[in-house]
Amino acid sequence: MAAATRTGFGHEHDAFVRAVPVKHATVDDEYVTYYDVGPRSVTGAETSSRLEGDETTPPLICIGGLAESAACFFRQLLSLGSLGYRVVALSLPPRQTFPGLAAVVIGLCAHLGIDRAVLVGSGLGGFVAQVVTQECPDLAAGLVLINAFVDLAHFASDLSCVPLIGFMPDVIIRRKLLSRLPSGLVAPEVADSIDFMVEQVEQLPRNAIISRCRALASHYDLDGPVPLDEDHILIIDALDDVAVPPKARAEVVKFYPNARVAELKTGSNFPHLAVALDVHMHMQVFFRACGWAPANSEPDEPEPADHPSNSEPLPDASSMPFPTATLPSWSSASAAPAPVVFDSFSGGFDEADDEDAADFF
């Protein structure tokens, strides 16, 4: 049981690695690694989708936190991608200032031909997303801030050793990063996310960690709320133990008093990994409130009879500790031999998630 729990993300992540290619681009003289799933035709340009009156959801640009890389958004890339959203996740290159990091995000959007985007940022990534919104207001159609902060002052005491960080042995730096993860008794899904992150921290380039710490210590000031309609800001906040201090996160809500706030019972540092389904639900409700529909939504289309999730049950659903049988139907789809091409998704997948629900009516 314990072993099955520990590899909770294993199957899903394997499916992700098999199906979604890593991409690279040189942006702003920086070598950037990213993933890009969903319909490439979605660029955020204001065009109506097939649903009348609804605009297609602009592409989601996911920016990770201090210890995260693009792969940490793999559950968003898989599930939201299969629901018809275009999802891009990037690994922040080693830059030591927030305007520098923001320039890379803006550059990547230009490279991909994206005019408007929903910026999804977790922790430090949330701060980058806000800087992007300030530097390039036309790009940001919406903001999703996951355990984010608006003021770097909260980290000053933690970061007193940043001037020396370049001289620190690798193992110490990584240990420090790992010490930010929650300890003690945690919910199984949070434990899964921690296990995943421990692996991530091992793989993170040293210079990326160092430069992100230096950025955090850079005393950059946001200079007031970002120039974006607050209806288009979603704040996702996990209520359990999170590395970003509660005070810093409470400030975000005060900073954007009219933003939509989605509180989660659990999720810890990485709700987008631990309780991805809840995060997706809140994001979908938020998109709908903004008048955005997924690119290929066809609400009235009948269920295809040979839907993959009917014929092929999840291999490990029974051994999951929680109702993780609620894994996105995508993972079962990916277990099928035929590779799934994200670009050519048609509406059929839309219905996948609520298929079980529909049976009861």
By CB under 8 A, name the binding residues for other proteins.
1-2, 5-6, 66, 83, 155, 157-159, 161-162, 165, 168, 173, 176-177, 179-180, 182-188, 191, 194, 209, 212-213, 216, 239, 241, 243, 245-246, 261, 263-265, 277-278, 280-281, 284-285, 288-289, 299, 321, 323, 326, 350-351, 353-354, 356-358, 360-361
Instruction: Give me the residues paired with residue 175 across strands.
Output: none
Nearest CA among 114, 83, 129 for reference residue 280: 83
CB of 351 to other proteins, least distance (A): 8
CB of 31 to other proteins, least distance (A): 24
Phi, psi for 161 (deg, rounded to 5): -95, 10
Closer Cβ to other proteins, 17 or 301, answer by number: 301
Phi, psi for 202 (deg, rounded to 5): -60, -35
CB of 335 to other proteins, least distance (A): 19
CB of 184 to other proteins, least distance (A): 6
Nearest CA among 104, 102, 96, 109 for reference residue 133: 102
Closer Cβ to other proteins, 7 or 135, answer by number: 7
Q: Which residues contact 11 (CB under 8 A, 6 or more apart)?
A: 314, 315, 316, 331
Closer Cβ to other proteins, 34 or 286, answer by number: 286
CB of 109 to other proteins, least distance (A): 27
Closer Cβ to other proteins, 36 or 350, answer by number: 350
Q: How many CA atoms lie within 13 A of 75 on its CB side?
A: 24
CB of 136 to other proteins, least distance (A): 27
Closer Cβ to other proteins, 3 or 338, answer by number: 3
Angle between helices 124-135 and 98-111 (to 10 degrees): 70
Q: Which residues contact 74 (CB under 8 A, 6 or more apart)?
A: 12, 13, 16, 20, 35, 89
Closer Cβ to other proteins, 143 or 191, answer by number: 191
CA-based angle 295:353:187, to the nearest 5? 115
